[in-house]
Amino acid sequence: MTATRIDGKAFAARLRERVGEHALAFAEAAGRKPGLAVVLVGDDPASEVYVGSKGKATVAANMLSFKYRLPADASEEQLIKLVDDLNQDDRVDGILVQLPLPGHLDEQSIIAAISPDKDVDGFHVINAGRLSVGQSGFVPCTPLGCMMLLTDRLGDLSGLEAVVIGRSNIVGKPMAQLLLDANATVTVAHSRTKDLASVVKRADIVVAAVGRPQMITKDWLKDGATVIDVGINRLPPEPGKEKGKLVGDVAYDEASEVASAITPVPGGVGPMTIAVLLRNTAVAAYRNAGLKVPEGL
């Protein structure tokens, strides 16, 4: 068997297009465009790139992009004051504080300062709580993107065995919750799981969010499994090359011989994250304006 390649890049492009249309409709109804504010503290080059591409994608989806930058030695008070101002700013529907923050800033306190109604990353404890009791709030972008790919591919997930590898607050835990809500039977595996290979072997759905290059090999997978690879790992550079190749947590080529469908790295889950961020921002705009969130957004 050769697995179907789940094209997250194409799916994300369609989602961004749809979000852009909804953003235009919102602007007509509300008299303003949806707005996303991104806050960058310090000058980490990777964060800089992420913030730049989020800004471009926001504008391309017919929304306003606001960028705020604080120096690396900004105090917690300064950052919380900025977040507070953005909470009060009616042009801003979503607030994203780019992580990681410099070491002297407590990420949890900063996230707690964001209004849950503008927390389009879905990291606030209120939104984590809403997800866990089945109320609508904001769900972290990466797992929600994985869920969209899974339901697009498989339809109803009822009764399927799902194994999520990784238990982080931003990927593994919300992923498990979403799968549970979709009536899958869910196992969350992690660094202390015993005999991980045999746990993964029973899965109809495998979601790998570990951060270990090509850890999951073909012999771990059940025939016909659907595999979502969240991991982004850079291999050491080959001789003569400046940068190593990007790979996932799954050994893609060999896993494709066993799985029925699998996301590539890059081009799978990665592009979904930003598309879902835009989607969450459009949803926030409708909610914050007291308008009904359109079906299919």
Write the DSSP assignment of 74-135 as a string of letters: --HHHHHHHHHHHHH-TT-SEEEEPSSPPTTS-HHHHHHHS-GGG-TT--SHHHHHHHHHT-
> Which of the residues 93, 117, 121, 229 is marked catalytic?
121
| Separation between Cα atoms, residue 236 and residue 59, nearest integer Å | 35
Interface with ligand NAD (CB under 6 A), residue from 232, 246, 289, 297: 232
Pick between residue 151 and residue 191 the one whose CB is nearest to ligand NAD.
191
Distance (Å, rounded) from C-alpha 146 to C-alpha 85?
33
| CB of residue 140 to ligand NAD, shortest distance in Å | 9
The verdict on whether 135 is a catalytic residue reads no
Which position among 96, 101, 170, 258 is part of the footprint of ligand NAD (CB under 6 A)?
170
Size of the site for ligand NAD (CB under 6 A): 24
> Sheet containing 64-70: which strands, arranged edge to edge?
64-70, 35-41, 94-97
Nearest approach, Cβ of residue 225 and ligand NAD (Å):
17
With CB under 6 A as the contact rule, the residue among 182, 210, 228, 250 that binds ligand NAD is 210
262 binds ligand NAD (CB under 6 A): no
DSSP state of 293: P
The residue annotated as part of the active site, out of 54, 119, 173, 229, is: 54
| Shortest Å distance, C-beta 168 to ligand NAD | 3
Hey, is 244 helix, strand or coil? coil
Q: Does 174 bind ligand NAD (CB under 6 A)?
A: no
- Name which of 94 and 270 has its Cβ closer to ligand NAD: 270
Smaller CB separation from ligand NAD, 170 or 250: 170
Active site residue 54: yes
Number of CB atoms found within 10 A of residue 218's CB: 14
CB atoms within 10 A of CB 92: 22
- Segment 127 to 166, residues that bind ligand NAD, using CB under 6 A: 142, 165-166
Q: What is the closest distance, in whole angstroms, from the C-beta atom of residue 158 to ligand NAD in the complex?
A: 26
Torsion of CA 178, 184, 185, 187, to 10 degrees: -40
Question: Considering 33, 98, 214, 229, which one is annotated as catalytic?
Answer: 98
Q: CB count, 10 Å around CB of 68?
A: 17
Q: How far apart are CA 159 and CA 286, in angstroms?
A: 34
Residues that bind ligand NAD (CB under 6 A): 142, 165-168, 170-172, 189-191, 193, 196, 209-212, 230-233, 269-270, 273
